[in-house]
A and B are shown apart, each in its own frame.
Chain A
Amino acid sequence: MLLSGLVQAATLSVTVNDAAGKPVPEAVVFVMPASGRPPAGAPRPAVVEQVNREFVPFVVPVQVGASVSFPNRDTIRHHVFSFSPAKVFDLKLYTGVPANPVVFDKPGPVVLGCNIHDWMVGFVYAVETPWFGRTAGNGGTAIELPAGEYEVRVWHPWQRGDVARERVKVDAAAGRATVRIDLAPPASAQRR
């Protein structure tokens, strides 16, 4: 926020494709400055709803320190939990919105599960940058950021290997990046 006044804002468009070149939706795209640290700022809170016994959205990127609330839109109870190292928590059986949102204070993926509904799976990915986005159905997302040299990183729950990285230079007009990732979807986590 401090810098925004100093530098001209630009838009970075990122497209994520799989190995076959098809667009990959629901991929977390976050951008780190090529040098130095990203600017700190107040992380925006996020919401992961449980709708029709599914986590919605499937993947939610947040900035470290963000609080995420898990409102239950179903009429039945859910027991949301995570054993992921980035954030271990569980929200015992509840309906509606739990009293306290969960603060994700470490970077990294957090797998969300419901102890009652084994097939329910969702992801919160905490990043240490305020510049992040989630690919839409066309595999693309646009991130507002100052022009400069960046490294675009892409994470996806079914991604094979580590986070994909792509260097990109964003000028005043705009920046574009296309990241290719290798996916290995799980056999099935079918709803029963």
Chain B
Amino acid sequence: MPPPVTPAKPPARPALHSLQARIVLFFVILLVTAQGVLMFLVSVSGERIARNRIDQELAVGERVFRNLVAQNSRQLTDAARVLAADFGFRTAIATRDLETIVSVLGNHGRRIDASVLMLASLDGRMLADTLHEDTRGAAFPFPELIEAAQRDRQASRVVLIDGKPYQLVVVPVLAPVPIAWIAIGFVIDDRVAADLKAVTSLQLSFASQARDGAWTVHASTLDAPVRGALTTWLASRKAEPAATAPAAPPPLSSMPDAVDLDGERYGTLSPVIGSGPDGAVVALLQRSVREGLEPFVRLRNLLLGLALASIVLSIAGSFLIARTVSRPVNRLTEIARRVHDGDYSQRVEVTGQDEIGELGRGFNHMLDGISQREAEILRLAFEDTLTGLPNRAMFLDRLQQSLRQARRSHVPVTVMVLDLDRFKLINDSLGHTAGDQVLRDVASRLRDVLRESDTVARLGGDEFAILLPAGPADRVGQVVERVLRVLEAPILLEEQPVDVGASIGVASWPEDGDDADELLRHADVAMYVAKRASSGHARYDRGFDTTSQGQLSLLGELRRAVEQDELCLHYQPKVSLADGTVGRVEALVRWVHPARGMVPPGEFIPFAEQTGYIRQISRWVIAEGIRQAAQWHREGLGIAVSINVAARDLMSSDLVAFVSGMLAQHDVPAYQVCLEITESGVMEDPARALETLARLHERGLRLSIDDFGTGYSSLAYLKKLPVKELKIDRSFVMHMVEDADDAAIVRSTIELGHNMGLEVVAEGVERQAEVDLLARLGCDEVQGYFFSRPLPPAAFEEWLAVHRAAAGEAAGASVA
């Protein structure tokens, strides 16, 4: 069963700090940065290139435009010249008939698609005009053109006629010498602008500014709203120098203006292409910045798309890569958590030969190792290594498990505690190896007679426990019987049969206890009862419990007694049968209970021995006895004090040091103190007892064997003990007068003691007949109620004074 663990929750992993998130984050930041820089560079340089390109397009466009205009004017000139040389035309003009001339002008003008034809005399007077009927005789409106034509035989200019721009060409009518000037005009309209746009790829508009400064847009390739905006923009411009400039060919515009028209920006060049009395004509060459930027914007959008796509792909890719790392790691974490909870069943699914796979394999090996070792540790923790049986911890666990089950099914559960009767004897006399063999043999016998479902455990020492989980009530009796019988059969130790025997205590749930501890304790109590009664087995009875309860409270009170000095020593004199003198007393512990009054030692000493509290009491008794002995020694009372030393004390290594220390502390000679050791106490560990006794003897302490005859000590052993005195147990003295057997025992004991050079003391002397008999048998000293009950020191001193006085009288009397 795994040790209880606090349930561990998997630690909440902060998402941002996970390996996966960090890997993804790294790549995304890297990519976004790189793409950002790229986009920035593309944006900056691309836009500059695009804007330069627009400017360049405008510059080229302007040159193309000018060439076109020049070419156009040449063509017009040629057309005009051809027309002027036409014989019919010349003939008609020669007629000087106005109507004829006008109709001829119209007719021939249509041939070359002219918008207006004007005929002027050589002296600059209007002869005819296809636009106006009433200009005959007036001055030709563009005399500078005639001047130029006189010079160059031709002239071409953009002029305003009725506020409209015309490309006007003036050539002489030759017959064959000039006889008149013919002016042929071509209106500049949207069609012209569209034709020019087709060649220049620029938006073209023609606008004029009147002398009063008002702008008019005459022709444009722009849409109507933009055209309106263009007019507004022109009007907002500063006074245009072109309005007043001479007719000289205008210079190329150097830098285009950026003009916002109807929400769109245009690079704009606005060369002046003509001027006249009515104002100046300006060509507007425009390139939409948006259109110019379009290829760049397309490129940028493509790049942006690529960047986004690559970022998305890299997120997905790094996510996948990260997952191949983090998923196994998470799996390892999960398994590690399970291991923490005690579950070793999970194994990492190892895939791949990479580092992760290597880690997984290592992890699995580690798990195998850990689970094997833990199984071994568990086995050691829950198994008794000597017998291979479950130990106390495991027994308790199984018992608790059975009880849980029993509570659900309401089937009785029975616990038995079994203690071997003569194990200590075997162990002491035949050695630990033999003891171990006995235990193993018993364990195997118990296993043989029990079912698989039952549990046999070794609780410790020679104590075993049996758990009968949920069985019929009559099975308990059968099991007890079978167990007792199987243990009755002697165990062969080195071919020597040894009787072990056992006492069994039985307690069942629910009637004898509610939980595992209680059941086990009650079974234990029942076992002791059985052992004491030598009845083989006992079933727990509620009556036992009062004792247990009383003992429990007693322990607390006993502790208090030592701490609060409720204990005291009473002294019972040992009277010499030879002369009736008293030179020694036995110190007997008394407990003056604040409520119960005087508590006899028989009521608390056995209990103190059971609970181990005897040690504290014993030390207190030794210390107090020595102190009293010292006091009387100082007072010159001549009284040696005998102190009872428990067997357990004898086994403790520091007893000698403690006694020596007390003697030194109270400055009392060792011979004033006698230590009485029970025979059974000595026999618990004879070798050790012997060693301790020898050392005490060396210190000069008088030693006495108490309760002689109740133990099983051999004489050979007894002979080795450095004791000075034997005390015959009161049980023999009590009946010796009436019982010949007891008397025989007393007599032989006295003889035995004397033969071994020991003094013999008889206890429990209550009658004169006993005194007499003991005196006759040669007993050295007697002690008992016949002389005095144990007395407090002061009372004893009084008694001693009276006794000595009487003895003195008696002695005196006898002497006398």
Report B-chain residues with C-beta under 8 Å of the C-beta of A188. Answer: 153
CB interface residues, A 91-136, toward B, < 8 Å: 111, 113-115, 118-121
1/0 contact string of A59-89 vs chain B (CB within 8 Å): 0000000000000000000010111000010
Answer yes or no: B727 CB below 8 A from chain A CBs.
Answer: no
A186 and chain B: residue at smallest CB distance: B177
CA distance A89 to B165 in the complex (A): 40
CA distance A87 to B246 in the complex (A): 44
CA distance A115 to B179 in the complex (A): 15
CA distance A113 to B178 in the complex (A): 11
Question: B87 contacts A81, CB within 8 Å?
Answer: yes
Contact of B87 among A111, A115, A186, A187 (CB under 8 A): A115
Contact of A119 among B91, B94, B175, B176 (CB under 8 A): B176
Answer yes or no: A1 CB below 8 A from chain B CBs.
Answer: no
Q: Determine which residue in A111, A113, A114 has the highest number of CB atoms from chain B within 10 A of its CB, and name it.
A: A113
Report B-chain residues with C-beta under 8 Å of the C-beta of A187. Answer: 150-153
Contact of A111 among B85, B150, B177 (CB under 8 A): B177
Within the complex, the shortest CB–CB distance from A118 to chain B, in Å, comes to: 6
CA distance A189 to B778 in the complex (A): 195
Within the complex, the shortest CB–CB distance from B172 to chain A, in Å, comes to: 10
Question: A121 contacts B94, CB within 8 Å?
Answer: no
Answer yes or no: B90 CB below 8 A from chain A CBs.
Answer: yes
Q: Give the contact-size bracket for chain A.
A: 10 to 19
Question: B177 contacts A83, CB within 8 Å?
Answer: no
Contact of B94 among A88, A186, A189 (CB under 8 A): A88
A109 and chain B: residue at smallest CB distance: B177
CB interface residues, B 152-167, toward A, < 8 Å: 152-153
Question: B153 contacts A83, CB within 8 Å?
Answer: no
Contact of A120 among B91, B94, B176, B179 (CB under 8 A): B176
Answer yes or no: B329 CB below 8 A from chain A CBs.
Answer: no
Q: Give the contact-size bracket for chain B.
A: 10 to 19
Question: A118 contacts B151, CB within 8 Å?
Answer: no
Q: Which 3 A-B pairs have the closest CB atoms?
A: A83-B94, A113-B176, A121-B176
Question: B174 contacts A113, CB within 8 Å?
Answer: yes
CA distance A111 to B173 in the complex (A): 13
Question: B90 contacts A118, CB within 8 Å?
Answer: no
Contact of A118 among B93, B176, B179 (CB under 8 A): B176
Report B-chain residues with C-beta under 8 Å of the C-beta of A114. Answer: 176
What would be 10 A-B contacts, judged by CB atoms less than 8 Å apart? A79-B87, A81-B87, A90-B91, A113-B175, A114-B176, A119-B176, A121-B176, A186-B178, A187-B152, A188-B153
Question: A118 contacts B153, CB within 8 Å?
Answer: no
Within the complex, the shortest CB–CB distance from A123 to chain B, in Å, comes to: 9
Q: Determine which residue in B85, B153, B174, B177 has the highest number of CB atoms from chain A within 10 A of its CB, and name it.
A: B177
Report A-chain residues with C-beta under 8 Å of the C-beta of B153. Answer: 187-188
Within the complex, the shortest CB–CB distance from A83 to chain B, in Å, comes to: 3
Within the complex, the shortest CB–CB distance from A82 to chain B, in Å, comes to: 8
* A121 in contact with B91 given A187-B151, A187-B153 (CB within 8 Å): no
Report A-chain residues with C-beta under 8 Å of the C-beta of B151. Answer: 187
Within the complex, the shortest CB–CB distance from B237 to chain A, in Å, comes to: 41
Report B-chain residues with C-beta under 8 Å of the C-beta of A121. Answer: 176-177
Contact of B91 among A83, A118, A186 (CB under 8 A): A83
Within the complex, the shortest CB–CB distance from B84 to chain A, in Å, comes to: 10
Question: B90 contacts A83, CB within 8 Å?
Answer: yes
Q: Determine which residue in A83, A90, A121, A187 has the highest number of CB atoms from chain B within 10 A of its CB, and name it.
A: A83
Question: A118 contacts B94, CB within 8 Å?
Answer: no
Report A-chain residues with C-beta under 8 Å of the C-beta of B175. Answer: 81-83, 111, 113
Within the complex, the shortest CB–CB distance from A93 to chain B, in Å, comes to: 11
B179 and chain A: residue at smallest CB distance: A83
Question: A118 contacts B87, CB within 8 Å?
Answer: no
CB interface residues, B 85-124, toward A, < 8 Å: 85, 87, 90-91, 93-94
B87 and chain A: residue at smallest CB distance: A115
